[in-house]
Structure 1
Amino acid sequence: MENLLKPSNLTSSGPSTFILIGIPGLEVAHLWISIPFSMFYIISLLGNITVISVVGKEETLHKPMYLLLCMLAVTDLGTSTTVLPKALCIFWFNLKSITVDGCLTQMFFLHLFSVMHSSVLVTMAFDRCVAICNPLSYTTILPNARIAKLGLVGLLRAVLFILPMPLLLSSQPFCANCIIPHTFCDNMAVAKMSCGDITVSRIYGLVIVIVVNGLDLSLIAFSYGLIIRALLKISSKKAHQKALNTCTAHICVILTSHVPSIFSSLTHRFGQGIAPHIHIILANLCFLLAPMLNPIIYGVKTKELRDKVGKYICRR
């Protein structure tokens, strides 16, 4: 992967490494900031690994909904693990340098997992739509094999959308002494280090944000429109409550994932009046809070999963 992203247009005076300075203006507080960040990451690891382990071992959970929850857990682990270890190296050991190849590779996987995460949320909305609107045909429309295929489609889409980002930047000449005021290699943060014209990279990054978030949120909204229409035709309060429980968990995950991500992306491009440390802390929390909260949300709102996790922990 790093060979693929190797910059081909660097001058002899161009840098071989970038410097990630962490959170500008709050360098003296890096150690304190690392404490909640570390706690969020540890909780995220424990929660998501537990979900993957329980669903993998319990055959009764080998259903589309729980397979999708495993996919969500994998993308959550991917995004947080791509970001936090390097940030902690900066906070704890002052290891601020990162190679250009390493920076572009981190950027690729960070955005790859983010787009995959969005794809999983769309598939989960479709899953809930079929389960509520057409329950008798649910197993026929969404067998496990089809869920796996949808997961592969989401992965392919993410690769096709995100790969041009590092490739466009790899052909740019970077200025000497590239200091990135961030804890990780975000697309726009790296683009601003270029001495060349980054118009194409800037436009492409914005288009990806609009297309991915716009398309995916539109599909999710359409699915929930069908769900609401189906619920209005059901008179049973018990059926209403059961449907709303699973949908509530999904809606909470969407809010914790998409809203901070969109806000962070837009402020990075247009929020010149926002203090840099505010934006950088928010950007880090985007990749830490959602992975930490998602398994908790589904654990609280999904009784079958909660019971199996309790059984698994007691057995251990």
Structure 2
Amino acid sequence: MYNKAVRLLTARAISNLTGCCTRSEEVKLMVATLVFAGIAPHPPLLVPEIGGHRISKVERSFKAMQDFSRRLLEADPETIVLISPHSPLDWHAFTTRADAELYGDFRQFDAGQVRLKFNNDLELVNAIGKEAEAAGVPFKTYGRSYLLDHGAMVPLYFLAEAGWRGPVVVLAFSGLSIGTHVEFGRCITRAAEKLGRRIAVVASGDLSHRLIPTAPAGYEPEAYRFDQLVTDSVARGDCKEIIEMDPDLRELAGECGYRSIAIALGSIDEKPVNNCVLSYEGPYGVGYLVAILAEGLSQSAVKEQSIGGL
């Protein structure tokens, strides 16, 4: 039963790889500051120094992350804003680091030789704080030096391999309402607009952790429905269906990416552009989704899509 469900979901995701969704749209002239937004998984086994031969079982995700990273760099952002589920969490506020440099390694996965270091875009951090305050969204910075967590490190590994050497802002979500997460995403984009900063937003997160009996969070026969809803909705560009998802389904799935995705959806103002699913699979019982929410936003014209009911 469970193998059939995962195979069916994977097949449905792959059927969306032939192209991006087409929607009714109108062209609005504007300066694009948010030039890319997407969803990236963060299993450490995707890193060759950690995964070794096991990468063959997540080959779709590995290749999709290479494609994702290449396309993000082609969008030419000045700063990458990444939301990680495993950054230090304040249940009552969104948080980020105030350190001048962000660094980390994979020592906890016996690959301490793999190290990353980036400058922190503190000007953007401060601008996000101002926009959050104006919107009544709780936001805090902390100055203690934490190593970057694997939720940030895995996507950043692929981005660094693709050639990224620019600044990064790493954010943590909160325990506040989903609507507040969406609004915080809007604050990020407004902050970039105020600075005239081109940004790419990456929602790091894995989907259900309960897809098969050997899954890390146990088995839940209906957990695949969460992954199916998110994957299909991203392919269609249906932000409303994701944002208004039944909380019981999220709880049942044992996911760790939903709130990151909600922030990313807010950053694009719930209007996907050239959205598409690059890959989905769950061979180890955890759903790995690589997807683009917005791409191809030029400096001269942005396609602003009309989405019914939003």
- The answer to whether TM tops 0.5 is no
Q: If the length of structure 2 is used for normalisation, what is the TM-score?
A: 0.28
Q: If the length of structure 1 is used for normalisation, what is the TM-score?
A: 0.27
If each structure's helix is expressed as a fraction of its own residues, which one has the higher value?
1
If each structure's strand is expressed as a fraction of its own residues, which one has the higher value?
2
Which has the larger Rg?
1
